[in-house]
Structure 1
Amino acid sequence: MKKLVFALFVLCAFASCDNGDDVPRKKDRTDIPLTKSEQALADAGNDFAFSLFRQVSSSHAQPANIILSPISVNYMMSMLNNGAAGKTEEEIAWTLGFEGAQPDEINAYNQKMLVASADIDPQVTVHTANSIWVRNGLNVLPAFREANESYYKATVRNLDFSKSDALKQINDWTSKNTDGRIPKILDEINPNACIYLLNAIAFRGEWSTPFETSNTKKDLFTDAQGREQEVQMMNASFSGVVCEHEKYRMLSRSYGNGAFSMSILLPDEGVTNAEVIASLTGESWRLLPENRNGYQIHLKLPRFSTSYDIELNDVLQALGITSAFSAADADFSKLSRERIFLSRALQKARIEVDEEGTKAETVTMGEGWVSSPGPRPEMQKMDFFVNRPFIYLISEYSTGAIYFIGEINRIE
């Protein structure tokens, strides 16, 4: 049975840290070929992913379980950016890491990732869908519609937002494209809304080497508050590579043919998730493989699942997208001749990890209003016991794109 998740970028780190017996070799793996300029966009996306994660995590007064999809935010905001101009377009591109790139370059890069990620591993499903829902009476400019239909395969539909069936259609689309695991994105349609842009991603991945269910035992997990809880702990032993940082160790475990993997960042004893997250940048991530060693590993990983909903307005404004949210300053003159601003951005996501693999889904929505490897060293033994709070990422191997990133502070 396949399992499900969503993503962003980290080429060098995953390419180096996944070199173990648990990981299928390159001959079994299909890569996504990127040009030098496209890889630069992917690398810049790492900074956005970590900045987004850092901003969201630090907004909580107490440690929380988080699951985010930076790439879903990227797809939704990139579609919206096809309607932006002037300062608004500059802010969106800069925040996403696309500063200096032309709109067609951004769209072509996103299109390549959308199409290629769906077909590179028969044991992994990455289903991505985009839609734009337009209130009857709002005239959307042809170039905006054509760019999103062409590059993002977005379905663009006109609806009478005043009818109850409009809400049902949007939520039915959400449910359909997440296998029913995110049944709705909206509780109601705001009477001021004139357009909704949605991206949905559903990831299902089977481990390359599943955990043996018979080896799953009750064990203790110490949460972020120092409280012990009894959990179902999966166990596996294999030879592999661990990347070691001054504050944490990282182990990656692959899905299917190795095109996708989950990386677990385990803070050292006495180090918090917050301290590790504060240190994560695109640059530190690229340098991490310089400190890698091969081990005979005993891995303990708890089964875990979590869901997370977040309003992104404050987060995106803190990261640099400000004018888009201002009725006075937003410039979406390439979307419509009406004056439109971004009134709301939100994301819902969930993840489930067990012996067979991973299920993960996300939906990101924007609501617009009209304003008035080297040689393997000799193997030593390592216990990689994930029995305390940790950070996790799901990424694509060849591009480094991070589809999901999150942290676990307590097993739910």
Structure 2
Amino acid sequence: MKNLLAIAVTSASGILLFSACAKNNVPEGPNKPDAPITLISLAQPVKESMSGFSFTFFKTLMKEKPVNENIFVSPLSLHIALGMVANGAAGETRDEIVKVLEAQNLSKEDLNQSYRTLLEKLPNADPKTSLGLANSIWYKNSFAVEPDFIKTSKDYFNAQVTGLPFQPSDVNTINKWASDNTNGKIPKVIDKFDDGLVMLLMNALYFKGDWRAKFDKSKNQSKEFTKADGTKIPVQMMRLEDTVKYASNGNYTAVQKLYGSGQFSMTILLPQSGTIEEVFNQLNLQEWNALQGGLHTTKVALELPKFKLEQEFRLEQCLQTMGIQKAFTNVADFSMLSKAFTKISFVKQNTFGAVDEAGTEAAAVTTIGMILTAENPDAIPKFICDRPFGIIISENTSNTILFMGRITQPVSQ
């Protein structure tokens, strides 16, 4: 499992990583898949881009949130949504997006092809799990979109591209798309169309996998869960003796539990003495690969709390911290998307996650909103005194003010 492709969860005492298994790390022995593995072939720079972005994004977002707050997000969904946006960007705006995606060593064609591969291969990787990936672009009818951008979005992202009046009733149409592509788990992503909004770019990701070895509900116990601040809350703890992949490096222990036929898995990381933040902050692409190489098969007595989360994250600040700056400003260059001057107004992700005795169900919808900027940033500034204004007459070397005035009714002879 060389590359992290989907979802990360953190709570007050552990980290769970949901991931896709590549052929070069197929479990053996009792964990050997009971169906043929589907090879998802990605170039090494693509794998590094996906995994590196996943850890950087999650660690950046983790710093924004209180230590007692759950975080459940989809790095893959955000990566794909930003990848669509990148095709509409040019110059420094595109450079910043691509750098944050850790894809600066990839050509536009290679990056787009990797998205097409994932969209085609991931949903069919394991016949015993359900996985859906979908993209859509919604634009205001009066907004002129570049034909090449639409073609690229359809060809590589299989995106549904739809023009709408952006009237109040259209909100229901967009929310229905989100609901339909997440099995109803995310029924609403927008409440209204903000002023100036001309486009929404969306990615939906849905995953449902039954444990290969399920928990027995009759063995559940009510237990106390100690939060980061030391307070305790009751949880329903699932219990199972299972043969799993296991590793321990002194800072944390890791267990890898399989779904379905064995191509997808959940890796659970439990700190030994420090905090989740300390464990996660040491995780990067190299550490993740080292962990995979250190896993060995053994029998463990696993206890995992049941949980269900429904969350929404605004990600503008997180992405700006990571390095996407110009895309949010009036000097953004989205000339490959439209000749009109546009910028990103918001990036949000709605997520759902549930872990129980049978398995895991998870969903995410990433929504990126584009608005028109005030005007052409290269145009000569306009200063039209067609409303009350003020004047100051001063001597420049001493900065002495001679006269001051408020002109509310200018009258000329």
TM-score above 0.5:
yes
TM-aligned CA deviation for residue 240 of structure 1:
2.9
Q: What is the aligned partner in structure 1 of residue 39 from structure 2?
A: 32
Give the Cα–Cα distance (whole angstroms) in 2 for the partners of residues 229 and 33 of structure 1: 41
Q: Following superposition of structure 1 onto structure 2, how do residues 190-209 of structure 1 map, counting pairs within 5 Å?
A: 190-209=194-213
Give the Cα–Cα distance (whole angstroms) in 1 for the partners of residues 102 and 205 of structure 2: 21
Give the Cα–Cα distance (whole angstroms) in 2 for the partners of residues 102 and 250 of structure 1: 35
Give the Cα–Cα distance (whole angstroms) in 2 for the partners of residues 55 and 20 of structure 1: 38
For the residue of structure 2 that corresponds to 1:334, the secondary structure is coil
Residue 326 (str. 1) matches residue 329 (str. 2)? yes
TM-aligned CA deviation for residue 157 of structure 1:
0.7
Query: One-letter code of the match for 1:348?
Result: N
Give the Cα–Cα distance (whole angstroms) in 1 for the partners of residues 243 and 24 of structure 2: 16
Structure 1 residue runs of 5 or longer lacking an equivalent are 373-412
TM-aligned CA deviation for residue 239 of structure 1:
2.8
Q: What is the aligned partner in structure 1 of residue 263 from structure 2?
A: 259
Decide whether aligned partners of structure 1 residues 240 and 15 sit closer, same or farther in structure 2, where only a CA change above 3 A counts. farther
Q: What is the aligned partner in structure 2 of residue 94 from structure 1?
A: 99
Q: Does the CA contact (< 8 Å) of 1:95 and 1:320 recur in 2? A: yes
TM-aligned CA deviation for residue 44 of structure 1:
2.4
Q: Does the CA contact (< 8 Å) of 1:10 and 1:286 recur in 2? A: no
Give the Cα–Cα distance (whole angstroms) in 2 for the partners of residues 167 and 351 of structure 1: 24
Residue 240 (str. 1) matches residue 244 (str. 2)? yes
For the residue of structure 2 that corresponds to 1:84, the secondary structure is coil
Query: One-letter code of the match for 2:315?
Result: L
Give the Cα–Cα distance (whole angstroms) in 1 for the partners of residues 195 and 62 of structure 2: 32
Decide whether aligned partners of structure 1 residues 85 and 306 sit closer, same or farther in structure 2, where only a CA change above 3 A counts. same
Q: Does the CA contact (< 8 Å) of 2:346 and 2:368 recur in 1? A: yes
Structure 2 residue runs of 5 or longer lacking an equivalent are 9-17, 376-413
CA distances 1:139-159 after superposition (whole Å, capped 9, x unpaired): 111110001111111111111
Give the Cα–Cα distance (whole angstroms) in 2 for the partners of residues 119 and 98 of structure 1: 25
Residue 336 (str. 1) matches residue 338 (str. 2)? yes
- Among 207, 216, 222, the alignment partner of 1:212 is 216
Residue 133 (str. 1) matches residue 141 (str. 2)? no
CA distances 1:99-141 after superposition (whole Å, capped 9, x unpaired): 1211111111111011101111111111111110111111111
Q: Does the CA contact (< 8 Å) of 1:192 and 1:370 recur in 2? A: yes
Residue 73 (str. 1) matches residue 83 (str. 2)? no
Give the Cα–Cα distance (whole angstroms) in 2 for the partners of residues 130 and 83 of structure 1: 15
- Among 117, 120, 128, the alignment partner of 1:123 is 128
RMSD over aligned CA atoms reads 2.1
Q: Does the CA contact (< 8 Å) of 2:335 and 2:341 recur in 1? A: yes
Structure with max Cα Rg: 2
Decide whether aligned partners of structure 1 residues 10 and 166 sit closer, same or farther in structure 2, where only a CA change above 3 A counts. closer
Give the Cα–Cα distance (whole angstroms) in 2 for the partners of residues 118 and 11 of structure 1: 11
Q: Following superposition of structure 1 onto structure 2, how do residues 7-406 of structure 1 map, counting pairs within 5 Å?
A: 7=7, 18-19=27-28, 21=30, 23-25=31-33, 28-35=35-42, 38-161=43-166, 163-268=167-272, 270-328=273-331, 330-371=332-373, 372=375
- Length, aligned pairs only: 361
Q: Does the CA contact (< 8 Å) of 2:213 and 2:242 recur in 1? A: no
Give the Cα–Cα distance (whole angstroms) in 2 for the partners of residues 356 and 15 of structure 1: 28
Higher mean C-alpha displacement, 95-104 vs 332-341: 95-104
Q: Which runs of 4+ in 1 moved over 4 A?
A: 5-20
TM-aligned CA deviation for residue 235 of structure 1:
1.1
Decide whether aligned partners of structure 1 residues 339 and 160 sit closer, same or farther in structure 2, where only a CA change above 3 A counts. same
Give the Cα–Cα distance (whole angstroms) in 2 for the partners of residues 172 and 296 of structure 1: 44
Give the Cα–Cα distance (whole angstroms) in 2 for the partners of residues 16 and 247 of structure 1: 23
TM-aligned CA deviation for residue 188 of structure 1:
1.2
Query: One-letter code of the match for 1:282?
Result: L
Give the Cα–Cα distance (whole angstroms) in 2 for the partners of residues 303 and 337 of structure 1: 50
TM-score (norm 1): 0.83
Query: One-letter code of the match for 1:340?
Result: T
Decide whether aligned partners of structure 1 residues 261 and 29 sit closer, same or farther in structure 2, where only a CA change above 3 A counts. farther
Identity %: 31
Query: One-letter code of the match for 1:155?
Result: Q
For the residue of structure 2 that corresponds to 1:45, the secondary structure is helix
TM-score (norm 2): 0.83
Q: Does the CA contact (< 8 Å) of 2:40 and 2:118 recur in 1? A: no
